[in-house]
Structure 1
Amino acid sequence: YAAGDLLAAGIAAVSACALIAAARLIGLAGPRDRVSGLWLLAGGLAVGVIAATYQTVSDQSAQLVLTSGEQMIKPLLALDTTSLIAATVGAKMVAYGLSMAAGFRGGPYFPAMFAGAGAGAVAAALLAADPAAAVTAGIVAAVTYLAHANWKFTAILGLVIGFLVGGWQLAPVALVAAAIGRAIPRLDPPAKVAAK
């Protein structure tokens, strides 16, 4: 690997974790004890406005922002410009955070993988690096950041995802990205305090 490829992979890994933490921070803004119709309505409206604005400004499908992300990673990486990829990931993570704040629930892993892929594509483009290593690192770090499993499982998870995304040749990059994702403290909601 060239030094620029490894640097882009490291930046992608850290950036992916930061994007997820930001979305989770937005998600903490809503009520945690119960979901209200007003919060759901306001959250749905806010996400709809973000998606409609994104589609109008970017001339891209709102589905890039609205769906969970598993089917949208390839279309994300096929976007024309680095700034469009960055804007798409930013809009998606804000929409995801607002959805969590409003009380909508869904799995966090596909939006995280989307953010990781986007972080990798942007880092690789900015550093003129090979995107395969950076995209793989971003996705692996995103998943291991969320999983926050023990180190052994983190290594296994990193290898498996790295293989599925980038092949065996990227195993060392995937292991380092998994370690980065695991080492960064995960932003979790505060534990509920039991009433006395």
Structure 2
Amino acid sequence: MVQDSEQRAPSVAPATPARVLLPSTLPAVAVGVVSCLVLVGVSVAAEELQDLLWGPLPDALGIGRYSVAWMFVMLVATGAAIGLVVWKVPGHAGPDPATVGLDAPVLPPAVLPGLLLATALMLAGGPSLGPENPIIAVNVGLAVWLGGRALPRAPGRMWPALAEAATIGALFGTPVAAALVISEALAREETRGLLWDNLFPPLTAAAAGALTATLVEHPSFDLDLPSFGRPGWGDLSAALVVASAGALLGMGAVRSFPHVHGAFRRLRHPMLMLPAGGAVLGVLAALGGHLTLFKGLDEIAVLARDPEGRSAGEFAVLTVVKLAALVVAASCGFRGGRIFPAVFAGTALGLCAHALVSGVHPSVGVSAGVLGMLLAITRQGWVSLFVAAVLVASPGVIALLCIASLPAWLLVTGRPQMQLRPDGTPVR
């Protein structure tokens, strides 16, 4: 009887006392603030360089700022400049970016300056990648290096979690995205204790990073699309179809990734791989126009400003070209992340659906397209839902996205990811 009652008793996860959690607050806040300042510093420096390269310089040369010739020259030159950094700067700007995801490796301090330089050049020069992966890697390396010296008795695994959460919080201007990423990571691991006890230090770092970003940069992801009220059956059908289409298109990019990476890898040297990648990106820019350049966050605002301003064919071209540019840039050695370009491709897909079928509300099309695309490219379910929802800032769309994520997830789960092992085979 005693054994039966013991077996039937519910298992209760042990709670962590407040006195154990409290000492982690100050290090978490410090990591959050520093991580945000690194992100903001690189972003501001890249924006200043971008304004020069794509403004006064072509004007002084008498060349159109976004002419085909200038886009081609700039992308090849950016590839050559980053190739030189990868070749000659100590640390070679870190590992092959095709092998790195959001869960960054701990890099030695000597690698970080070259990685920061390569990231800033990439952001300014126009390749279709975002800052998230390399900045997370830099912040993880800094946190482990500085934190290990400031608090040598603190567990070493704490610092990468704090830095990753802080950077994600700063990127999105809210700690919610970081909490979602960490909760997914904890679900994959054998963790002990209550969820919120495990989330407390990284959530503190994410909140500090997000608050610093809000005070310094005032980030906003709301595209100011036409307001969306109560969803109907037609909206549900549209969300299901567009999200699934986004997942399928994204999986097409994922499937091509190892093959494109292998083609560039045969060139062997960064001074060949990166300029060649820049040349391919120049051709794609000629096909898709200047909106397919850069990480895509400012460019999606341009698309959303006039959902009726382009035909379905034009939106389709933007979608396909941006996806192709993302695959090429991530394959040939440019240092950058894949979230923001995928958001652009999903936005263009959603607006394409609206242009094809006027009954597809722009907010539904955009959020569902982004959801499906991010599920395929990132394989981060909660983050995909979060980003898709904040772009339209409409409570009515959340239920649609939750339902639309189910068939889209079935299309992507268990299949290759947009990340490779060192031998070039895809991670599953």
One-letter amino acid of the counterpart of residue 30, structure 1: H
* Residues 296 and 340, structure 2, Cα contact 8 Å, conserved in 1: yes
Where do residues 21-170 of structure 1 align in structure 2 (5 Å cutoff)?
Answer: 21-28=251-258, 29-31=260-262, 36-55=270-289, 62=290, 64-77=291-304, 78=306, 79-128=309-358, 129-149=360-380, 154=381, 156-157=382-383, 160-166=386-392, 167-170=394-397
Q: For each residue in 1:1-31, what CA deviation from the matched residue of structure 2 results, as whole angstroms up to 9, or x when unmatched?
A: 3433222222221222222222333332224
Residue number in structure 1 paired with 2:416: 187
Further displaced range: 179-188 or 100-109: 179-188
Separation in structure 2 between the aligned mates of residue 42 and residue 162 of structure 1, nearest angstrom: 33
One-letter amino acid of the counterpart of residue 21, structure 1: M
Separation in structure 1 between the aligned mates of residue 384 and residue 256 of structure 2, nearest angstrom: 27
Residues 35 and 121 of structure 1, relative CA distance in 2, 3 Å threshold: farther
Separation in structure 2 between the aligned mates of residue 109 and residue 87 of structure 1, nearest angstrom: 19
CA apart distance, 1:172? 0.8
SS in 1 for 2:297: coil
Further displaced range: 119-128 or 64-73: 119-128
Separation in structure 2 between the aligned mates of residue 141 and residue 53 of structure 1, nearest angstrom: 24
Separation in structure 2 between the aligned mates of residue 180 and residue 37 of structure 1, nearest angstrom: 43
1:176 aligns with 2:403: yes
CA apart distance, 1:170? 0.8
One-letter amino acid of the counterpart of residue 42, structure 1: A
Separation in structure 1 between the aligned mates of residue 354 and residue 269 of structure 2, nearest angstrom: 40
CA apart distance, 1:162? 4.5
Residue number in structure 2 paired with 1:9: 239
Q: For each residue in 1:95-151, what CA deviation from the matched residue of structure 2 results, as whole angstroms up to 9, or x when unmatched?
A: 2212122222311111111111122112233222212112111122333333434xx
Residues 39 and 158 of structure 1, relative CA distance in 2, 3 Å threshold: closer
One-letter amino acid of the counterpart of residue 281, structure 2: V
How many pairs does the alignment contain? 181
Cα RMSD between the aligned structures? 2.5
Residues 106 and 177 of structure 1, relative CA distance in 2, 3 Å threshold: farther
Q: For each residue in 1:55-93, what CA deviation from the matched residue of structure 2 results, as whole angstroms up to 9, or x when unmatched?
A: 3xxxxxx1x111111111122233422211111111111
Unaligned runs of 5+ in 1: 56-61
Residue number in structure 2 paired with 1:58: none
Q: For each residue in 1:137-194, what CA deviation from the matched residue of structure 2 results, as whole angstroms up to 9, or x when unmatched?
A: 1122333333434xxxx3x54653354123111111121233344332243256456x
Separation in structure 2 between the aligned mates of residue 81 and residue 165 of structure 1, nearest angstrom: 22
SS in 1 for 2:261: coil
Percent identity at matched positions?
27
* Residues 141 and 181, structure 1, Cα contact 8 Å, conserved in 2: yes
* Residues 318 and 345, structure 2, Cα contact 8 Å, conserved in 1: no
- Which entry has the higher C-alpha Rg, 1 or 2? 2
Separation in structure 1 between the aligned mates of residue 239 and residue 350 of structure 2, nearest angstrom: 7
SS in 2 for 1:92: helix
Unaligned runs of 5+ in 2: 1-230, 424-428
